[in-house]
């Protein structure tokens, strides 16, 4: 039986409030599975289980304030290796050269079972191979070949970050029937605006800030894409707040920091927040708060490349919009003239349980309209 204690989650905290219990007595938990959600003055965090086992007793309740070091619950761990093979205890010596013994080990042959035909009853290489041929099933050999192949390959750690990404992606794809549609948006006008601002006002604003603003406007009109489906309750919750998650590529993997109440911010504010979050993400300085509560996710793949994708929704959200590369392209105008415009492709993935293609396209059409005629954004000023 082992105690799980409230440890300092890295903010120099002295106590924490139990927000909710995520397990109950009798539950079987895996390593790193969240046990309780704890709120400190700075962050909300889920405490992961240090080991796999069965939850025995829970000492705390939701709402209770616990000091660091206080026992939260006990877990009886599952022994991973019920039978550990210890050193063999032999009386007489096994007569086999170390090289021969290695051949036996590598082929999972217990050298004690091999009959030696060599001088003085010594076990030779051939004796091991003969033993192997007469006792081993063919499929075992295949497995071993595969294992050996694997052993020779270089490995890199499957990091905690990657494990979390893996769990989220798996959950999302297994739950949500994904549909993605692609479209193109003419961003020439926005780029011009950006250029003018820089030249006239000396203000350099990322073009993504404009896109995010436009997404917020469109989401207000299509709240279905800012919702959460609770299948067991039979209800779709339309979220009152608009918190935009920004899929960010870091050295350690994908992470999604959040701009909270994004609709309440000006384009400049969005730009600044985006910059700060990006910096924090790159330097591993994001807090739990920075990473929680997003209601819609944007993936700005553009700077990296790609002209289309089928992104996976940030579960339990309903949709995700990805911006791809902007290219200068020849465009035929209404007057049948060919002109050069900056065109960006976008991919919109949505949960087909909740919305249909028509709604999704109406949503992206509105987004495209706002970007192609930036003056429309003025109409949305509050």
Catalytic residues: 352
CB of 118 to other proteins, least distance (A): 9
Residue 283 binding other proteins, by CB under 8 A: no
Residue 155 binding other proteins, by CB under 8 A: yes
Task: Out of 266, 284, 306, 310, name the contact with other proteins by CB under 8 A.
Answer: 284
> Token pair for residue 332?
């035929």
Rounded Cα gap, residues 119 and 126, in angstroms: 13
> Token pair for residue 13?
């905290």
- When the beta carbons of 105 and 264 are compared against other proteins, the nearer one is 105
Residue 46 binding other proteins, by CB under 8 A: yes
Residue 160 binding other proteins, by CB under 8 A: yes
CB of 251 to other proteins, least distance (A): 11
- Strand blocks (E) in the chain: 2-5, 15-21, 28-29, 34-39, 44-48, 53-58, 65-67, 71-77, 178-186, 227-230, 235-238, 244-250, 253-255, 258-259, 296-300, 319-332, 338-351
Rounded Cα gap, residues 1 and 5, in angstroms: 13
Query: 351 - beta bridge partners?
Result: 178
CB contact at 8 A, 359 and 179? no
CB of 10 to other proteins, least distance (A): 4
Residue 301 binding other proteins, by CB under 8 A: no
- When the beta carbons of 114 and 343 are compared against other proteins, the nearer one is 114
Residue 2 binding other proteins, by CB under 8 A: yes
- Tally helices (H) and strands (E) across the chain: 10, 17
How many C-beta atoms lie closer than 10 Å to residue 140's C-beta?
13
Task: Out of 138, 139, 156, 333, name the contact with other proteins by CB under 8 A.
Answer: 156
Give the interface segment with other proteins, choosing from 6-14, 126-134, 300-308, 315-323 (CB under 8 A): 6-14
Residue 98 binding other proteins, by CB under 8 A: yes
Residue 143 binding other proteins, by CB under 8 A: no
Residue 88 binding other proteins, by CB under 8 A: yes
CA-nearest of 357, 319, 293, 360 to 176 is: 319
Task: Out of 19, 21, 22, 95, name the contact with other proteins by CB under 8 A.
Answer: 95
Residue 370 binding other proteins, by CB under 8 A: no
Residue 291 binding other proteins, by CB under 8 A: yes
Rounded Cα gap, residues 273 and 260, in angstroms: 10
> Token pair for residue 213?
């603003």
Rounded Cα gap, residues 108 and 99, in angstroms: 14
Q: b vs e for 266-303, b when ≥16 Cβ sit within 10 Å of the residue's Cβ?
A: ebeebbbbbeebbebbeeeebebebbbebbbbbbbbbe
Q: What is the 3-state secondary structure (H, E, C) of 118-139?
A: CHHHCECHHHHHHHHHHHCCHH
Residue 48 binding other proteins, by CB under 8 A: yes
Q: How would DSSP label each residue in 12-27?
A: --SEEEEEEE---TT-
Residues touching other proteins: how many (CB under 8 A)? 63
- When the beta carbons of 36 and 60 are compared against other proteins, the nearer one is 36
- When the beta carbons of 6 and 217 are compared against other proteins, the nearer one is 6
* Rg for the chain, CA atoms, rounded: 30
Task: Out of 42, 101, 178, 278, name the contact with other proteins by CB under 8 A.
Answer: 101
- When the beta carbons of 144 and 369 are compared against other proteins, the nearer one is 144
Residue 260 binding other proteins, by CB under 8 A: no
CB of 60 to other proteins, least distance (A): 18
Residue 200 binding other proteins, by CB under 8 A: no
Residue 75 binding other proteins, by CB under 8 A: no
Binding site for other proteins (CB under 8 A): 2, 8-10, 31-32, 34, 45-46, 48-52, 77, 79-81, 84-88, 90-93, 95-98, 101-102, 105-106, 119-122, 147-148, 150-152, 154-161, 164, 168, 252, 255-256, 284, 286-288, 290-291
């Amino acid at each position: 039986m082992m105690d799980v204690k409230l440890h300092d989650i890295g903010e120099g905290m002295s106590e924490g409030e139990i927000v909710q219990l995520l397990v109950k007595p009798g539950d079987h938990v895996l390593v790193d599975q969240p046990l309780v959600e704890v709120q400190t003055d700075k962050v909300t965090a889920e405490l992961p289980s240090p080991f796999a086992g069965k939850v025995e007793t829970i000492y705390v309740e939701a709402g209770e304030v616990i000091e660091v070091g206080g026992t939260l619950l006990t877990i009886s761990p599952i022994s991973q290796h019920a039978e550990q093979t210890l050193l063999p205890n032999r009386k007489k010596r096994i007569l086999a050269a170390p090289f021969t013994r290695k051949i036996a080990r590598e082929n999972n042959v217990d050298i004690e079972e091999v009959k030696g035909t060599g001088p003085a009853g010594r076990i030779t290489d051939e004796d091991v191979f003969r033993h192997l041929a007469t006792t081993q099933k063919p499929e075992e050999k295949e497995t071993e070949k595969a294992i050996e192949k694997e052993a020779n390959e270089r490995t890199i750690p499957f990091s905690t970050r990657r494990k979390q990404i893996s769990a989220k992606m798996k959950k999302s794809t297994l739950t949500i029937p994904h549909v993605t549609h692609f479209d193109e948006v003419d961003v020439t006008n926005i780029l011009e605006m950006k250029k003018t601002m820089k030249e006239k006002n000396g203000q350099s604003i990322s073009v993504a800030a404009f896109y995010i603003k436009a997404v917020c406007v469109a989401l207000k009109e299509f709240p279905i894409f800012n919702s959460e489906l609770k299948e067991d309750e039979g209800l779709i919750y339309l979220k009152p707040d608009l918190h935009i998650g920004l899929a960010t590529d870091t050295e350690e993997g994908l992470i999604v920091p959040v701009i909270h109440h994004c609709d309440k911010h000006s384009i400049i504010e969005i730009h600044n927040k985006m910059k700060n979050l990006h910096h924090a993400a790159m330097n591993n300085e994001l807090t739990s708060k920075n990473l929680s509560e997003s209601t819609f996710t944007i993936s700005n793949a553009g700077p990296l490349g790609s002209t289309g994708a089928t992104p996976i929704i940030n579960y339990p959200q309903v949709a995700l919009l990805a911006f791809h590369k902007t290219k200068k392209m020849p465009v035929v105008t209404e007057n049948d003239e060919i002109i050069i415009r900056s065109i960006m492709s976008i991919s919109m993935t949505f949960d087909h349980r909740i919305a249909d293609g028509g709604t999704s396209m109406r949503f992206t059409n509105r987004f495209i309209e706002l970007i192609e005629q930036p003056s429309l954004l003025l109409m949305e000023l509050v």
